[in-house]
Chains A and B, each alone.
Chain A
Amino acid sequence: DAGITQSPRHKVTETGTPVTLRCHQTENHRYMYWYRQDPGHGLRLIHYSYGVKDTDKGEVSDGYSVSRSKTEDFLLTLESATSSQTSVYFCAIRGRANSPLHFGNGTRLTVT
Protein backbone atom coordinates (compact mmCIF):
# COMPACT_ATOMS: atom_id res chain seq x y z
CA ASP A 1 0.00 0.00 0.00
CA ALA A 2 2.87 2.41 -0.84
CA GLY A 3 3.69 2.86 2.86
CA ILE A 4 0.54 4.76 3.81
CA THR A 5 -1.36 4.13 7.02
CA GLN A 6 -4.64 5.78 7.83
CA SER A 7 -6.15 5.78 11.30
CA PRO A 8 -8.68 5.06 12.50
CA ARG A 9 -10.07 2.76 9.79
CA HIS A 10 -13.61 3.20 11.04
CA LYS A 11 -15.21 5.83 13.24
CA VAL A 12 -18.73 6.65 14.33
CA THR A 13 -19.24 10.03 15.93
CA GLU A 14 -22.07 12.37 16.85
CA THR A 15 -23.00 15.61 15.15
CA GLY A 16 -21.11 18.55 16.60
CA THR A 17 -18.10 16.63 17.91
CA PRO A 18 -14.57 17.26 16.66
CA VAL A 19 -12.86 14.46 14.74
CA THR A 20 -9.25 14.05 13.63
CA LEU A 21 -8.11 11.58 11.02
CA ARG A 22 -4.46 10.72 10.63
CA CYS A 23 -2.39 9.80 7.61
CA HIS A 24 1.12 8.47 8.12
CA GLN A 25 3.56 7.74 5.28
CA THR A 26 6.93 6.03 5.29
CA GLU A 27 7.94 7.07 1.74
CA ASN A 28 9.30 10.51 2.63
CA HIS A 29 7.11 11.99 -0.13
CA ARG A 30 6.68 15.74 -0.35
CA TYR A 31 3.05 15.88 -1.42
CA MET A 32 0.09 14.63 0.61
CA TYR A 33 -3.63 14.86 -0.03
CA TRP A 34 -6.98 14.26 1.63
CA TYR A 35 -9.89 13.14 -0.55
CA ARG A 36 -13.42 12.09 0.22
CA GLN A 37 -15.29 9.52 -1.83
CA ASP A 38 -19.07 9.54 -2.07
CA PRO A 39 -21.45 7.66 -4.37
CA GLY A 40 -22.19 9.70 -7.46
CA HIS A 41 -19.33 12.14 -6.82
CA GLY A 42 -16.19 10.10 -7.09
CA LEU A 43 -13.04 11.33 -5.40
CA ARG A 44 -13.00 15.00 -4.40
CA LEU A 45 -10.00 16.86 -3.00
CA ILE A 46 -10.43 18.38 0.47
CA HIS A 47 -6.95 19.76 1.25
CA TYR A 48 -3.42 19.10 0.16
CA SER A 49 0.11 19.72 1.38
CA TYR A 50 3.22 20.48 -0.65
CA GLY A 51 5.63 20.46 2.28
CA VAL A 52 5.88 20.68 6.06
CA LYS A 53 3.53 23.46 7.23
CA ASP A 54 2.57 24.17 3.58
CA THR A 55 -1.08 23.38 2.92
CA ASP A 56 -3.88 24.64 0.72
CA LYS A 57 -7.58 24.12 0.09
CA GLY A 58 -9.11 21.75 -2.40
CA GLU A 59 -12.50 21.58 -4.04
CA VAL A 60 -14.53 20.70 -0.90
CA SER A 61 -12.63 22.26 2.01
CA ASP A 62 -15.50 23.87 3.95
CA GLY A 63 -15.75 22.40 7.46
CA TYR A 64 -12.28 20.83 7.31
CA SER A 65 -8.83 21.89 8.42
CA VAL A 66 -5.45 20.20 8.09
CA SER A 67 -2.02 20.29 9.63
CA ARG A 68 1.35 18.93 8.64
CA SER A 69 4.06 19.38 11.24
CA LYS A 70 6.23 16.51 9.99
CA THR A 71 6.89 15.11 6.53
CA GLU A 72 5.34 11.78 7.42
CA ASP A 73 2.07 12.95 9.04
CA PHE A 74 -0.91 14.78 7.59
CA LEU A 75 -3.92 15.32 9.85
CA LEU A 76 -7.47 16.11 8.77
CA THR A 77 -9.76 17.71 11.36
CA LEU A 78 -13.49 18.14 11.27
CA GLU A 79 -14.00 20.91 13.83
CA SER A 80 -17.70 20.15 14.34
CA ALA A 81 -18.83 17.08 12.45
CA THR A 82 -22.06 17.18 10.43
CA SER A 83 -24.03 14.37 8.82
CA SER A 84 -22.97 15.62 5.37
CA GLN A 85 -19.40 14.69 6.32
CA THR A 86 -20.32 11.00 6.53
CA SER A 87 -18.02 9.58 3.88
CA VAL A 88 -14.96 7.51 3.15
CA TYR A 89 -11.78 9.56 3.50
CA PHE A 90 -8.63 8.69 1.58
CA CYS A 91 -5.15 9.99 2.06
CA ALA A 92 -2.85 10.03 -0.97
CA ILE A 93 0.84 10.78 -1.46
CA ARG A 94 3.00 11.77 -4.38
CA GLY A 95 6.77 11.91 -4.59
CA ARG A 96 7.39 14.52 -7.28
CA ALA A 97 5.64 16.69 -9.83
CA ASN A 98 4.02 14.86 -12.75
CA SER A 99 3.91 11.54 -10.97
CA PRO A 100 0.74 9.65 -9.99
CA LEU A 101 -1.01 9.55 -6.63
CA HIS A 102 -0.82 6.56 -4.31
CA PHE A 103 -3.67 6.00 -1.89
CA GLY A 104 -4.14 4.60 1.58
CA ASN A 105 -6.97 2.22 2.44
CA GLY A 106 -9.29 4.87 3.78
CA THR A 107 -11.19 5.83 6.91
CA ARG A 108 -14.92 5.18 6.94
CA LEU A 109 -16.53 7.97 8.98
CA THR A 110 -20.16 7.98 10.05
CA VAL A 111 -21.65 11.07 11.68
CA THR A 112 -24.94 10.33 13.46
Chain B
Amino acid sequence: QKEVEQDPGPLSVPEGAIVSLNCTYSNSAFQYFMWYRQYSRKGPELLMYTYSSGNKEDGRFTAQVDKSSKYISLFIRDSQPSDSATYLCAMSALRDNYGQNFVFGPGTRLSVLP
Protein backbone atom coordinates (compact mmCIF):
# COMPACT_ATOMS: atom_id res chain seq x y z
CA GLN B 1 0.00 0.00 0.00
CA LYS B 2 1.36 3.42 -0.95
CA GLU B 3 1.71 5.97 1.79
CA VAL B 4 -0.65 8.39 0.03
CA GLU B 5 -3.37 7.35 -2.41
CA GLN B 6 -5.10 9.72 -4.79
CA ASP B 7 -7.40 8.96 -7.70
CA PRO B 8 -5.52 10.13 -10.82
CA GLY B 9 -8.69 10.90 -12.75
CA PRO B 10 -9.18 12.47 -15.16
CA LEU B 11 -12.21 14.11 -13.60
CA SER B 12 -14.44 16.15 -15.91
CA VAL B 13 -17.16 18.42 -14.54
CA PRO B 14 -19.34 21.18 -16.02
CA GLU B 15 -18.64 24.79 -15.14
CA GLY B 16 -20.29 25.80 -11.88
CA ALA B 17 -20.18 22.31 -10.35
CA ILE B 18 -18.86 21.53 -6.89
CA VAL B 19 -15.69 19.47 -7.16
CA SER B 20 -14.48 17.07 -4.50
CA LEU B 21 -10.88 15.87 -4.59
CA ASN B 22 -9.62 13.34 -2.07
CA CYS B 23 -6.54 11.65 -0.67
CA THR B 24 -6.16 8.82 1.79
CA TYR B 25 -3.02 8.11 3.75
CA SER B 26 -1.64 5.43 6.03
CA ASN B 27 0.87 7.22 8.29
CA SER B 28 -0.83 8.46 11.46
CA ALA B 29 2.18 10.74 12.16
CA PHE B 30 1.13 13.16 9.42
CA GLN B 31 0.01 16.44 10.96
CA TYR B 32 0.40 18.98 8.16
CA PHE B 33 -1.67 18.74 5.01
CA MET B 34 -1.36 20.67 1.79
CA TRP B 35 -3.07 20.98 -1.54
CA TYR B 36 -1.20 22.16 -4.60
CA ARG B 37 -2.53 23.10 -8.02
CA GLN B 38 -0.32 22.41 -11.02
CA TYR B 39 -1.05 23.80 -14.45
CA SER B 40 0.48 22.11 -17.48
CA ARG B 41 4.21 22.88 -17.81
CA LYS B 42 4.25 24.81 -14.53
CA GLY B 43 5.37 24.08 -10.99
CA PRO B 44 2.98 23.11 -8.18
CA GLU B 45 1.37 26.16 -6.58
CA LEU B 46 0.31 26.04 -2.94
CA LEU B 47 -3.46 26.35 -2.53
CA MET B 48 -4.17 25.32 1.05
CA TYR B 49 -2.12 24.48 4.12
CA THR B 50 -3.76 23.01 7.20
CA TYR B 51 -2.64 21.58 10.50
CA SER B 52 -4.43 18.65 12.13
CA SER B 53 -8.16 17.98 11.75
CA GLY B 54 -10.98 20.27 10.70
CA ASN B 55 -11.93 22.60 7.87
CA LYS B 56 -10.21 25.59 6.33
CA GLU B 57 -11.85 27.86 3.80
CA ASP B 58 -10.25 30.27 1.32
CA GLY B 59 -12.59 31.78 -1.23
CA ARG B 60 -14.06 29.01 -3.36
CA PHE B 61 -11.74 26.41 -1.84
CA THR B 62 -12.32 24.38 1.33
CA ALA B 63 -9.82 21.90 2.73
CA GLN B 64 -11.08 19.24 5.07
CA VAL B 65 -8.99 16.87 7.21
CA ASP B 66 -10.33 13.81 8.98
CA LYS B 67 -7.43 12.31 10.87
CA SER B 68 -9.51 9.53 12.41
CA SER B 69 -10.24 8.22 8.90
CA LYS B 70 -6.86 9.30 7.46
CA TYR B 71 -8.70 11.15 4.73
CA ILE B 72 -8.33 14.66 3.35
CA SER B 73 -10.48 16.51 0.84
CA LEU B 74 -10.41 19.66 -1.24
CA PHE B 75 -13.73 21.13 -2.32
CA ILE B 76 -13.99 23.66 -5.12
CA ARG B 77 -17.26 25.60 -5.31
CA ASP B 78 -18.54 27.23 -8.48
CA SER B 79 -15.80 25.59 -10.52
CA GLN B 80 -14.38 27.55 -13.46
CA PRO B 81 -12.53 26.48 -16.61
CA SER B 82 -9.47 28.17 -15.10
CA ASP B 83 -9.56 25.52 -12.34
CA SER B 84 -8.61 22.89 -14.92
CA ALA B 85 -5.29 21.57 -13.64
CA THR B 86 -3.75 18.69 -11.73
CA TYR B 87 -4.29 18.82 -7.96
CA LEU B 88 -1.69 17.27 -5.68
CA CYS B 89 -2.15 16.51 -2.03
CA ALA B 90 0.89 16.53 0.24
CA MET B 91 1.51 15.84 3.89
CA SER B 92 4.28 15.86 6.48
CA ALA B 93 4.84 14.87 10.09
CA LEU B 94 5.26 17.18 13.06
CA ARG B 95 8.97 16.53 13.61
CA ASP B 96 10.04 16.73 9.99
CA ASN B 97 12.21 19.73 10.75
CA TYR B 98 14.28 19.61 7.57
CA GLY B 99 11.25 18.93 5.40
CA GLN B 100 12.82 15.89 3.83
CA ASN B 101 9.80 13.69 4.44
CA PHE B 102 7.02 15.45 2.58
CA VAL B 103 4.90 12.84 0.84
CA PHE B 104 2.97 13.73 -2.30
CA GLY B 105 0.01 12.09 -3.93
CA PRO B 106 0.32 11.41 -7.67
CA GLY B 107 -2.26 14.09 -8.47
CA THR B 108 -5.81 14.21 -9.84
CA ARG B 109 -6.32 15.76 -13.26
CA LEU B 110 -9.40 18.00 -13.31
CA SER B 111 -11.12 19.42 -16.39
CA VAL B 112 -13.90 21.99 -15.96
CA LEU B 113 -15.89 22.21 -19.15
CA PRO B 114 -17.47 25.54 -20.19
The chain A residues found within 8 Å of chain B, CB to CB, are 1, 4, 31, 33, 40-43, 45, 48, 50, 56, 58, 90, 94, 97-106, 108
A42 touches B98 (CB 8 A): no
By a CB distance below 8 angstroms, the chain B residues around A1 are 43
A105 touches B104 (CB 8 A): no
By a CB distance below 8 angstroms, the chain A residues around B54 are none
A48 touches B43 (CB 8 A): no
Provide the bound-state CA to CA distance between A38 and B46, in Å: 19
By a CB distance below 8 angstroms, the chain A residues around B10 are none
B88 touches A43 (CB 8 A): yes
Give the number of chain B interface residues (Cβ < 8 Å). Answer: 24
Of the residues A41, A101, A104, contact of B99 by C-beta under 8 Å = A101
B46 to chain A, nearest CB (A): 5
A106 to chain B, nearest CB (A): 5
A78 to chain B, nearest CB (A): 20
B105 touches A98 (CB 8 A): no
A106 touches B43 (CB 8 A): yes
| Binary contact readout B74-114 vs A (1 if CB under 8 angstroms, 0 otherwise) | 00000000000000101010101111101011110000000
A42 touches B104 (CB 8 A): yes
Provide the bound-state CA to CA distance between A101 and B91, in Å: 11
B100 touches A56 (CB 8 A): yes
- The majority secondary structure among interface residues of chain B is loop
By a CB distance below 8 angstroms, the chain A residues around B100 are 33, 45, 48, 56, 58
A97 touches B43 (CB 8 A): no
The chain B residues found within 8 Å of chain A, CB to CB, are 32, 34, 36, 41-46, 49, 88, 90, 92, 94, 96-100, 102, 104-107
Provide the bound-state CA to CA distance between A43 and B99, in Å: 14
By a CB distance below 8 angstroms, the chain A residues around B105 are 42
B99 touches A40 (CB 8 A): no
Provide the bound-state CA to CA distance between A45 and B103, in Å: 9
B43 touches A31 (CB 8 A): no
Of the residues A43, A99, A102, A105, contact of B42 by C-beta under 8 Å = A105
B105 to chain A, nearest CB (A): 6
